[in-house]
Amino acid sequence: QVQLQESGPGLVKPSETLSLTCTVSGGSISPYSWSWIRQPPGKGLEWIGYIYYSGSTNYNPSLKSRVTISVDTSKNQFSLKVSSVTAADTAVYYCARSPIARNWFDPWGQGTLVTVSS
């Protein structure tokens, strides 16, 4: 069964770029869409954006100017970059899969905590 695993630095300095990778094992990147979702400590879930296996993307309008999601089908990975981070970007970041033309998230990765602090 497919499993997702997030990886990347757990600490990022303010104004720098947060970079995370999600590795997909036990299945293929295609033909699915892949999302990033985050959860600030003690708060609710926020959808960041998705990328199709073909490379097309869509982002949360509130984050669109700072977010880039990319995919590497040869490595079965997709990635997230958030630029100009502040303390408000401190959160557990999850990656998740959606079937094409479907609107649910399953499965999810275990999540990785990213703290923005100097």
Partner 1 sequence: QSALTQPASVSGSPGQSITISCTGTSSDVGGYNYVSWYQQHPGKAPKLIIYDVSNRPLGVSNRFSGSKSGNTASLTISGLQAEDEADYYCSSYTSINTRVFGGGTKLTVL
Closest contact distance (angstroms) between CB of 10 and partner 1 is 16
What are residue 104's DSSP bridge partners? none
Residue with tokens 């408000």: 88
Q: Whole-number minimum distance, CB 62 to partner 1, in Å?
A: 7
Torsion angles phi and psi, residue 107, rounded to 5: -90, 180
Per CB under 8 A, does 7 bind partner 1? no
Span interacting with partner 1, options 7-15, 24-32, 68-76, 105-113, rule CB under 8 A: 105-113
102 binds partner 1 (CB under 8 A): yes
β-pair partners for 70: 79
CB of 15 to partner 1, least distance (A): 26
**Could you say which residues in the range 25-84 bind partner 1, by CB under 8 A?**
35, 37, 44-47, 50, 58-62
CA-nearest of 62, 67, 75, 27 to 51 is 67
Which are the contacts of 2, defined by CB distance < 8 A and separation ≥ 6? Answer: 24, 25, 26, 27, 97, 107
Q: Which stretch binds partner 1 (CB under 8 A): 17-25, 73-81, 82-90, 96-104?
A: 96-104
